[in-house]
């Protein structure tokens, strides 16, 4: 063991990986356990900066090939083994379309670029659920690898500007400050960029790097500071673990807590060995159990996510005992990987002899991972049976309104964009107004309108309900003020357009809460929603317009397209994915909604729930068609089949009454 080995850092790795696993496995109440990744970032910044600066100081240069060879030996073999094993296991768990999709993730993970892929994924409104992606946890490894590429050049630049620590401190501090400022800003504007983009996480590595700049003499002269600093650092990490949630605007300012806590623990442990052994938390971090977990932390991190993801797919409602079994499997796989692959290759004498012996195999391993993942993506869907192909095509097909570019606005846009469908000279006009749950009715409504010499003009915006209610949205991690601005202007434009009928639909409040169970929900939200719905309806009817409100569709616990495809792939019936009506249909809330609509003059309530549900069950595979493209949006092919019912409800019951 190296004389510079820090047992407190090994223990800190254990704390980091334990938080992440506890969070993902749901074994303990650590809603902020995901911040363990931030601890890893700070540790990496500390160790890598210290190592590189020592080499630059002692030799006046930096052997980049040797540096990258060490990183390759340490990281690549184990990660590639887990990637390939996860791909193989996926053939037995995932549907063909999922295998193809997630193989692309494996391809980017093999090249350490999956964080860039996930940024695009995060902004796709209809992207598959991230929690089903068995490779998503590689994002943090991709960020680290990108850090390893850029950081040595940054330190060499500092050394070129001026020798010594002052220039390095200035450069690292400046990079960290700019990175944090942009990260904090984008966390409130475009959170996926702040979360996944490596330059915007550079400040966390920089914080670790700056911690190496504190002189050893400082601690020798102030030994009494070690224990209080360590306790404060531990308190900050514990506070993040216990109080943060996924719904919080993270990283941004909130990430300062785990980052600062980690820096404090690193500084407290920078004292001499005697002080470390008697400084409370630093001594606790050196205990044998934490040392053992710390050594396994990399393998544990690699394995824990695919294990729990696949287990949840096979057994949707895992019991605590089953979760403990998943933990045992993760530990067994990690022990095997550490002792058979990770550690032997990392310390192999032949590979350590010179950089080329490690880097050439590293390039080959990376290429192997990319090629295998690409091949699997192609082969998985090369010979789909007709039903699987139909499910995939139905889930991918956009609604009539969404197929027209720009007709369903994104989160940031506040200026309405009405889109017209049908004969411009048609004697009647229907306005369709609301969020994506209004949009999925555009397909049957526009088809019915064409048959009835009527045009449809849409005012649609993602996640923006028609009811006058300010909501907090997960994708933005804040109140959706853009929706409020768009809604107000859209109502004015619709009233000015004087349509024959305004058709409204929106996601049920209960469904939106199920989608974001940890969202910030005011205690009076139900009352505000009732007032907001009545206000929107009254705005139209008081202007002399008729309104038809379409009840929202049932909500499903799983992505229906993937659930049905998996069931058929395993030889099971699609009914496996059906939901109890009491769980899916929101009947009680719908009754309140119906009463509000019917209490407003010239407003009608349209309820098509019986097209999906009988008295006890809501179905997802109806008349040979998949009903939903995800958990709560109609599949367009099935929506087309509802055209006669929409025509009957809208034209024969509403328009004809005019």
Instruction: Examine residue 57 and state whether it is found in any structural domain, yes or no.
Output: yes
- The C-alpha atoms of residue 221 and residue 203 are separated, in whole angstroms, by 29
pTM: 0.86
Q: Residue 34: pLDDT above 60?
A: yes
Same domain, 256 and 314: yes
Give the least confident one: 369-378, 438-447, 512-521.
512-521
Same domain, 134 and 155: yes
Same domain, 275 and 423: no
Same domain, 278 and 373: yes
- The C-alpha atoms of residue 6 and residue 27 are separated, in whole angstroms, by 29
Same domain, 230 and 94: yes
Q: How many CB atoms lie within 10 A of CB 309?
A: 25
Instruction: Examine residue 630 and state whether it is found in any structural domain, yes or no.
Output: no
Instruction: Examine residue 619 and state whether it is found in any structural domain, yes or no.
Output: no
Q: Which residues contact 643 (CB under 8 A, 6 or more apart)?
A: 443, 444, 447, 448
Instruction: Examine residue 450 and state whether it is found in any structural domain, yes or no.
Output: yes
User: Which domain range does residue 310 map to?
Assistant: 7-380
pLDDT digits (tens, 9 = 90+) for 88-147: 999 999 999 999 999 999 999 999 999 999 998 886 655 667 778 999 999 999 999 999
Instruction: Examine residue 634 and state whether it is found in any structural domain, yes or no.
Output: no
Give the least confident one: 62-66, 326-330, 615-619.
62-66
Instruction: Examine residue 505 and state whether it is found in any structural domain, yes or no.
Output: yes
Same domain, 337 and 460: no
pLDDT at 220: 66
In the listed set 349, 380, 411, which residue is the last one of a domain according to the structure? 380
Q: Residue 503: pLDDT above 90?
A: yes
Mean pLDDT, residues 58-66: 84
- The domain tally of the chain equals 2
In the listed set 380, 410, 444, which residue is the last one of a domain according to the structure? 380
CATH number at residue 423: 3.40.50.280
Give the least confident one: 271-275, 410-414, 437-441.
271-275
Strand 419-421 with 454-461, pairing? antiparallel
Same domain, 296 and 428: no
The model's confidence at residue 278, banded by pLDDT at 50, 70 and 90, is: low
- The C-alpha atoms of residue 468 and residue 527 are separated, in whole angstroms, by 12
Same domain, 356 and 464: no
Same domain, 265 and 363: yes
Distances in whole angstroms, Cα of residue 130 to Cα of each of 64, 112, 118, 124, 205: 36, 18, 9, 11, 26
24 sits in which H/E element: helix 7-25
In the listed set 380, 409, 444, which residue is the last one of a domain according to the structure? 380
pLDDT at 276: 54
Same domain, 255 and 328: yes
Backbone region of residue 207 per phi and psi (left: phi > 0; alpha: psi in -120 to 50; beta: other values): alpha
- The C-alpha atoms of residue 277 and residue 258 are separated, in whole angstroms, by 23
Instruction: Examine residue 114 and state whether it is found in any structural domain, yes or no.
Output: yes
Mean pLDDT, residues 184-195: 91
Same domain, 455 and 420: yes
Same domain, 340 and 458: no
What does pLDDT average to over the chain? 90
Q: How many CB atoms lie within 10 A of CB 292?
A: 12
pLDDT digits (tens, 9 = 90+) for 456-483: 999 999 999 999 999 888 777 788 999 9
Q: Can the peptide bond before residue 251 be classed as cis, meaning omega within 30 degrees of 0? A: yes
What is the rounded radius of gyration, in angstroms, for the C-alpha atoms of the chain? 28
Contact by Cβ (8 Å): 503, 484: no
Percent of the chain with pLDDT over 70: 95
- The C-alpha atoms of residue 36 and residue 297 are separated, in whole angstroms, by 11
User: DSSP letters of 46-114?
Assistant: HHHHHHHHHHHHHHSS--HHHHHHHHHHHHHHHHHHHHHHHHHHHHHHS-HHHHHHHHHHHHHHHTT-H
pLDDT digits (tens, 9 = 90+) for 371-381: 999 999 999 98
Instruction: Examine residue 563 and state whether it is found in any structural domain, yes or no.
Output: no
């Amino acid at each position: 063991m190296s004389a510079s080995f820090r047992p407190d850092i090994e223990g800190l790795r254990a704390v980091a990986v334990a938080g992440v696993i506890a969070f993902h496995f749901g074994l303990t109440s650590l809603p902020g356990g995901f911040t363990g990744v931030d601890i890893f970032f700070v540790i990496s910044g500390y160790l890598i900066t210290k190592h590189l600066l020592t080499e630059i100081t002692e030799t006046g240069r930096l052997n980049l090939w040797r540096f990258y060879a060490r990183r390759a030996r340490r990281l690549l073999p184990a990660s590639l083994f887990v990637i390939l094993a996860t791909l193989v296991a996926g053939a037995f768990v995932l549907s063909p379309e999922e295998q193809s999709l997630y193989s692309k993730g494996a391809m980017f993970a093999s090249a350490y670029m999956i964080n860039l892929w996930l940024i695009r994924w995060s902004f796709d409104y209809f992207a598959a659920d991230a929690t089903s992606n068995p490779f998503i946890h590689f994002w943090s490894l991709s960020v680290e690898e990108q850090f390893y590429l850029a950081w040595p050049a940054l330190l060499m630049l500092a050394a070129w500007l001026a020798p010594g620590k002052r220039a390095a401190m200035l450069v690292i501090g400046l990079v960290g400050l700019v990175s944090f400022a942009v990260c904090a800003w984008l966390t409130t504007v475009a959170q996926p960029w702040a979360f996944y983009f490596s330059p915007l996480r550079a400040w966390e590595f920089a914080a670790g790097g700056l911690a190496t700049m504190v002189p050893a003499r400082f601690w020798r002269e102030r030994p009494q500071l070690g224990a209080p600093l360590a306790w404060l650092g531990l308190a900050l990490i514990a506070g993040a673990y216990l109080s943060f949630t996924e719904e919080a605007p993270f990283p941004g300012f909130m990430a300062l807590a785990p980052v600062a806590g980690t820096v404090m623990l690193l500084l407290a442990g920078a004292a001499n060995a005697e002080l470390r052994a008697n400084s409370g938390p630093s001594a606790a971090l050196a205990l044998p159990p934490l040392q053992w977990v710390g050594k396994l932390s990399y393998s544990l991190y690699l394995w824990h996510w695919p294990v729990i993801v696949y287990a949840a797919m096979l057994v949707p409602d895992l019991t605590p005992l089953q979760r403990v079994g998943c933990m045992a499997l993760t530990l067994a796989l990690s022990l095997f990987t550490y002792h058979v692959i990770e550690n032997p290759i990392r310390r192999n004498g032949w590979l350590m002899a010179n950089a080329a012996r490690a880097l050439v195999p590293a390039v080959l391993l990376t290429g192997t991972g990319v090629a295998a993942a690409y091949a699997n993506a192609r082969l998985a869907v090369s010979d789909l049976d007709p039903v699987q192909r139909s499910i995939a095509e139905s889930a991918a097909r956009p609604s009539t309104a969404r197929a027209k570019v720009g007709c369903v606005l994104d989160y940031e846009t506040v200026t309405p964009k009405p889109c017209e469908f049908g004969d411009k000279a048609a004697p009647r006009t229907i306005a369709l107004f609301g969020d994506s749950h209004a949009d999925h009715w555009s397909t049957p409504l526009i088809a019915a309108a064409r048959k009835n010499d009527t045009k449809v003009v849409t005012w649609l915006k993602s996640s923006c309900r028609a009811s006058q209610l300010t909501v907090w949205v997960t994708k933005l991690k804040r109140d959706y003020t853009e929706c409020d601005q768009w809604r107000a202007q859209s109502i004015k434009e619709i009233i000015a357009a004087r349509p024959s009928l305004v058709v409204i639909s929106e996601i049920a409040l209960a469904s939106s809460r199920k989608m974001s169970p940890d969202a910030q929900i005011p205690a009076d939200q139900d009352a505000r929603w009732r007032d907001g719905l009545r206000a929107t309806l009254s705005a139209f009817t008081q202007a002399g317009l008729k309104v038809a409100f379409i009840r929202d569709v049932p909500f499903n616990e799983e992505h229906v397209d993937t659930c049905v495809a998996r069931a058929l792939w395993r030889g099971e019936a699609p009914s496996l994915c059906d939901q109890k009506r009491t769980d899916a249909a929101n009947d009680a809330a719908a009754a309140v909604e119906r009463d509000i609509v019917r209490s407003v003059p010239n407003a009608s309530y349209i309820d098509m729930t019986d097209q999906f549900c009988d008295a006890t069950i809501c179905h997802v595979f109806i008349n040979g068609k998949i009903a939903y493209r995800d958990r709560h949006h109609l599949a367009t092919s099935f929506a087309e089949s509802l055209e006669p019912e929409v025509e009957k409800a809208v034209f024969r019951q509403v328009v004809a009454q005019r």
